[in-house]
Structure 1
Amino acid sequence: MNNFALEAVLNELLSPHLIKDYCPNGLQVEGKTEVKKIITGVTACQALIDRAIEEKADALLVHHGFFWKGEPAEIRGMKYRRIKALIENGINLYAYHLPLDVHTQVGNNVQLAQRLGLDITGGLELGNPRSVAIYGELEQAISGEDFAARIAMALQREPLHIAPNSPDLIKKVGWCTGGGQDYIELAAQQGCDAFISGEVSERTTHTARELGIHYFAAGHHATERYGVKALGEWLAQEHGFDINFIDIDNPV
């Protein structure tokens, strides 16, 4: 498939024009015209680019790409080496950030829900049909310790569990993959027993304790591993691409 045609296919599925983001979504670095083999991964780091080169990929499809709002505009140092490697090897770089978080089929939030046994109810941002944070329920209420164990098993990573003073069971859960810890107050306001995100801030501990809500920091990388993987699988099934998901280890 033509590289710009592939971008059109991805844009049709993910609708990036409907959400305001911190980076450009779509084809960020142009490579060879014809795309057959695609490497997918969470972040366009040098290690993933090197693997794409080794695999002789025509494209790299990631959740975290380049050109973030507020970053230096100059292409030098680490940024230069990454982009140089892509251009020299003719590798197209496609990146989708928030559009991939919120997608109802291949999105990070939906994929996390499937792995944790959560039935999605709606968005925490009331009135926003593409809410970055969502909520749902477990089939049966469980303890915070049991839910932490479930997260660890699903994501292959022990979560940080900040428990409120009360030993209440968890039934209603809010979540936002990646760096969504500040949605915890919204989750508490809407009656959630627990909130999950990838990262944690110093203030999150006090917020969880004072609002009486369980908080689980399950890892930015770990909570966002499965959206881009599902997107690649969709491309393989619907359009016949040769897809290989490569998970570059990241404990954060």
Structure 2
Amino acid sequence: MADEIRALVFDVFGTVVDWRASIARQVETLARVRGLTVDGTAIADAWRGLYQPSMSAVRDGTRPFVDLDVLHRESLDALVEQHGLGSLDDADRHALVLAWHQLDAWPDVVEGLTRLKRKFILGPLSNGHVALQVGIAKHAGLPWDVILSTDLYRTYKPRPEAYQGACKLLKLAPSQVMLVAAHNNDLGSAREQGMRTGFVVRNEHGQGQVIDQKAEQDWDVIADDFVDLAKRLGA
């Protein structure tokens, strides 16, 4: 199976980067500068909780496409008052939106990607737009070959065109491309489009995580982390 695969594309938020700890830290840092005391982890969780709902109107065609910075800002504005950040001005809120461009990778990621890069084409396939993905890659030292984002197709996962578009841009058949993700639903959508699937276990939501604690289907590869993924794929 591994010999047939030419490219690996990766979900990013939660799979490649630890958004929760990264956002919590940056929120608390800015809050201290402004003389505020907040729970950064609670804010990160609340912000992420609005992620999927914010994209739904774009996916169902009732709203024209806007990128994730716009959606993140709208979601932030909706939650600041209840979390003690209501006094932040426009510049501060913009800075927090840009925090999503500088998320830390999980400890195994760079080593695993470096090994995988010897054998496969690598790139993100994320709902984060191209500039956001470039920012994360620069910040975290991710050795991508290509940046693939759903904003290239003016939609969001799990719309079929997000997965189909990545394969078309790489000029590869879906069976030659593996989506790697820590989310069973993302992998299920990729499999429906004929792609290969790789599940990696992540505890992105902390001790309260109740979903994606294990593989829920017979994905092509199930790995503990990116180094284990590289071993299983012969890289």
Q: Which has the larger radius of gyration?
A: 1
TM-score (norm 2): 0.31
Q: Greater share of strand residues, 1 or 2?
A: 1
TM-score by length of 1: 0.30
Higher helix share: 2
Higher relative contact order (CA 8 A, sep 6+): 2
